[in-house]
Structure 1
Amino acid sequence: MKKSIFIIAGILSLTYADAQVSFGKMQNMIPRSKEGLNVFDVKKDDVPFDGLSVDVGGAFAMQFQGLNSFNDQKEGAYTLPNGATIYGAAGTTGYRLNNLGNNFNLPAANFTLGAQLADGVRVNLDIYLSSRHHNETWVKGGYLQIDKLDFIKKGFMEDIMKYTTIKIGQMENNYGDSHFRRTDNGNALLNPFIEANIMDSFETEMGMEVYYNRDGLVSMVGITNGKLNQGVAEFVPSAATPTAPDPNTTVSPTILAKLGYDKQLNQDLRVRITGSYNHNANMSANPWGSDRAGSRYFGVMSHQAYTYDSNGNAPGGDNVQANNFDPAANATTGRFSPGYANWYTAFMINPFIKYKGLEFFGTLEFTSGGDKKGTDDSRSVDQYAADLVYRFGPTNQFYVGARYNIVSGELSGAPQKVDVERFETSAGWFMTKNIIAKLAYTNQNYSKYSQFSGNSLNDLYGGSFNGLMFEAAITF
């Protein structure tokens, strides 16, 4: 936090050293206010360049959570696959899910710093000041956005750059359209619900994306180095084993692409549909488990500490399963990751239709991947989501909405496909274009999960959670 204060103080001092420095005159930037609703792509505008300008922004969100978790694990003695016995009698040695109180979660906060450096060239830096996954200050990423090449020569390739944008840096991968409607830590203004999709694709990697958007055409190609955590350390392959005789010897780049159509057909009707591609042949990071912030559903489907006895004796045994409630260590409760360990290929289709105040947004995601190079068959996980939102009021400041989301697929080592299903309803009020209040009800169910996970009881066996959540958020 102190570092952020020093940065702001340094920027403010520039205004005294150079009278040409201004604030807020930024080009081609998606608004962080209510005006940014349903803006999915980089945008071109006619904001003039008046010299160096600085952008300072932030976001803050807090939630009151009233959720309860359940599963089909019963009290009593269980025999594990390895012959050990778990005792579920009352007391410290018994298995049970954590009881969740009705109270406030850890508030989330973001800090954004940017600058217009030249005509058509700006830089952006995003920082998480507080998040579930990283309670400390953490840099999400930063990038350079180029909309003109006048720094090379006045008018250089202006006919092409009129429709082209180049982004370079450690930034959020533009895979699909769902991530434009998700909550990004403290920035919750553009999400009509409390959480993102069950299978939430969100990752920041070092790379470049090139956009070409013209007359309804939406297109993007990108490439990254495939690493969430940057570094130059030598890649040391895993030792070969009988089940994995051909381990990875490198980390491959991530390939991204998007193609679609987006048109305001008349004053009332807008139609958009995009298809996106995401592939890595030798992965280092998992796109469905790389969020630095974490989910909004704190502690759901987590267990208290319990013991089991590998010799089958009375309770008070020789092995302990720790309490896994910890919000930072277990930061993705309520979400699902396919857990691919070696490679993946993913496609996402997102239709969006807006007619007056009514909005429909859908997600069809098809993924496949493998866990050991060249030795195992690919498995697949698919996701379907649809939300309907109706906005009303003199400035569309009120809305009601509902979302249905299902994930179905194969987990590594699991005997059968599993399903996760969520239904969420929401109502919201934009008090101003920078302040929102939301109330949502969520009901999520897990089916076809095994009773045991390795030699532990599976928290998701017959699992479910439900309840109400309230969220208030400010973004500027």
Structure 2
Amino acid sequence: MVILKKVTVIALMLLGLGIYAQENRDLDNYRYTDKRGVNVFEAPKSTETSFKGLKVRFGGASTLQFQGIDHENSDLAGIELQPIGSNFNLATANLDIDVALYDGVRMHLRTFLSSRHHHETYVKGGYFQIDKLDFVKEGFMEDFMKYATLKVGHMENNYGDAHFRRSDNAQAMHNPFVGNLIMDSYTTEVGAELLVQKNGFIGMLGVTNGKLNQSVDKTSEDGSSGGASFLAKLGYDKQINTDLRVRITGSMYNTGYVPNSYLYAGDRGGSRYYGVMIADAATADNFRSGRYNPNLKNKISAIMFNPFIKYKGLEFFGTIETASGKATAELENRTANQFAGELIYRFGKEENLYIGGRYNSVDSEEMTGEDVTIKRSQLVAGWFLTKNILMKMEYVNQKYEGFATTSTLNQGKFNGVILEAAISF
């Protein structure tokens, strides 16, 4: 706790100095963490430059929820859920450091100061983003780099579009809802991604080492220290006219073997639905409560399609996802499918108010053989008080079907209201 307090004090001092010293905090080819980043996916690409020397941008985020949720299950096997009531959740906080190192070269680093899973401050990940190769030679490959962006680091991988709209611990400004998807496809791995954006067309190829927790231990089937994961994305994103924007992408994530795949278990920030469907709060590692991990532990192939349409203030975002794979001990692959559709209407001055709903369902085969289904409905209302402050109120209703009578989730359900205040700068 003493170390955490010291780190927090230092971070706050750095943030204060950064804010005081920076008259212009804008960076080139940067997705803003405030309201300006809403409905932005990959970082924008421009050949214009504002670089005048090394520039450090300190930023951060903080969220707090008041939760009023009830839960229940069948209790057929005598598995009683822990009692939960209405109260505040743990306040979460992020620290972001973005540095313009050279013309067209930027570094990003995100640290979780407070999160549901970890008591200590720890680094989520970071990367270099390269939009120009002038550090090699002025004008080097400039015709190609007009459209290309290279990212290298231990970073959040660009699989699908849903991860651009999710809450990342305290960074909740871009998520119109409070909770993320049931099958929350998100992980941070060491690798590189090459993104090309031209005339609305999007193409990305990436490769990683398939590991969230880095290690040189030889734990793979062939005696190596692990396998590799491959990513790809293809899509189209165009502002058709002043009223209509259309985007559709298809993404793929594939790994032949990894010691432990975290694609659906990688969010150390944890679920927003605290304590739900947990039998024993004292012993359970419950930071993923309310989510579902199909546990395709060692081999996985996943595909996601995401349509996005915005007409004036009305927007639709969809997720169609299928993932197949297995643990090494299993003989055959299992499959999990996810569907989500959300409809948001933004209105008011500069669309600072919104209302909306989301339906999310998952069908999966458990390792024990059961075919299970999880269904979630969410209703939400939000208000951007300023571009840096967002208030949300969400009603959530989630049901579990097909789980074994010995499972905590047998005939389970939870529902209730969550209020969230989010700040990002």
Q: TM-score, normalised by structure 2?
A: 0.94
Residues in 2 aligned to 1:394 and 1:356: alpha-carbon distance in whole angstroms: 13
Shift of 1:357: 0.2
Is the 1:193–1:438 contact (alpha carbons within 8 Å) kept by the matching residues of 2? Answer: yes
- The one of 162, 175, 191 equivalent to 1:207 is 191
Number of the residue aligned with 1:278: 253
Equivalent positions of 1:219-368 (< 5 A) are 219-232=203-216, 234-236=217-219, 247=221, 249-250=223-224, 251-283=226-258, 284-303=260-279, 323-324=280-281, 329-368=285-324
Shift of 1:229: 1.0
Gaps of 5+ in 2: none
Is the 2:183–2:292 contact (alpha carbons within 8 Å) kept by the matching residues of 1? Answer: yes
Structure 1 stretches of 4+ moved >3 Å: 3-15, 247-250, 324-327
Is the 2:15–2:59 contact (alpha carbons within 8 Å) kept by the matching residues of 1? Answer: no
Show CA shifts across 1:413-436 (max 9, x none): 22x310000000000000001100
Instruction: For 1:51, give the aligned amino acid.
Output: G
Number of the residue aligned with 2:409: 460
Show CA shifts across 1:75-96 (max 9, x none): xxx5xxxxxxxxx5xxxxxx42
For the structure 1 residues 126 and 170, does the alpha-carbon distance in structure 2 shift closer, same or farther, using more than 3 Å as the test?
A: same
Number of the residue aligned with 2:422: 473
Residues in 1 aligned to 2:202 and 2:62: alpha-carbon distance in whole angstroms: 31
Instruction: For 2:340, give the aligned amino acid.
Output: A
Show CA shifts across 1:186-220 (max 9, x none): 01111010111000011111110100000010111
Is the 1:22–1:53 contact (alpha carbons within 8 Å) kept by the matching residues of 2? Answer: no
For the structure 1 residues 467 and 433, does the alpha-carbon distance in structure 2 shift closer, same or farther, using more than 3 Å as the test?
A: same
Check if 1:104 corresponds to 2:58.
no
Shift of 1:11: 9.5
The number of equivalent residue pairs is 417
For the structure 1 residues 139 and 326, does the alpha-carbon distance in structure 2 shift closer, same or farther, using more than 3 Å as the test?
A: farther
Shift of 1:372: 2.0
For the structure 1 residues 449 and 157, does the alpha-carbon distance in structure 2 shift closer, same or farther, using more than 3 Å as the test?
A: same
Is the 1:60–1:474 contact (alpha carbons within 8 Å) kept by the matching residues of 2? Answer: yes
- The one of 370, 384, 395 equivalent to 2:326 is 370
Identical-pair percentage: 47
For the structure 1 residues 28 and 463, does the alpha-carbon distance in structure 2 shift closer, same or farther, using more than 3 Å as the test?
A: same
Instruction: For 1:275, give the aligned amino acid.
Output: G
Q: TM-score, normalised by structure 1?
A: 0.84
Show CA shifts across 1:16-55 (max 9, x none): xxx9x98624211101111101111121243411111110
1:122 partner SS: strand
Residues in 1 aligned to 2:316 and 2:18: alpha-carbon distance in whole angstroms: 46
Shift of 1:354: 0.2
Is the 2:363–2:371 contact (alpha carbons within 8 Å) kept by the matching residues of 1? Answer: yes
Number of the residue aligned with 2:395: 441
1:389 partner SS: strand
Number of the residue aligned with 1:417: 371
Show CA shifts across 1:209-249 (max 9, x none): 100000010111111111111132x3145xxxxxxxxx563
1:395 partner SS: helix
For the structure 1 residues 7 and 451, does the alpha-carbon distance in structure 2 shift closer, same or farther, using more than 3 Å as the test?
A: closer
Which has the greater radius of gyration? 1
Instruction: For 1:235, give the aligned amino acid.
Output: K
Cα RMSD, aligned residues only: 2.1
For the structure 1 residues 461 and 420, does the alpha-carbon distance in structure 2 shift closer, same or farther, using more than 3 Å as the test?
A: same
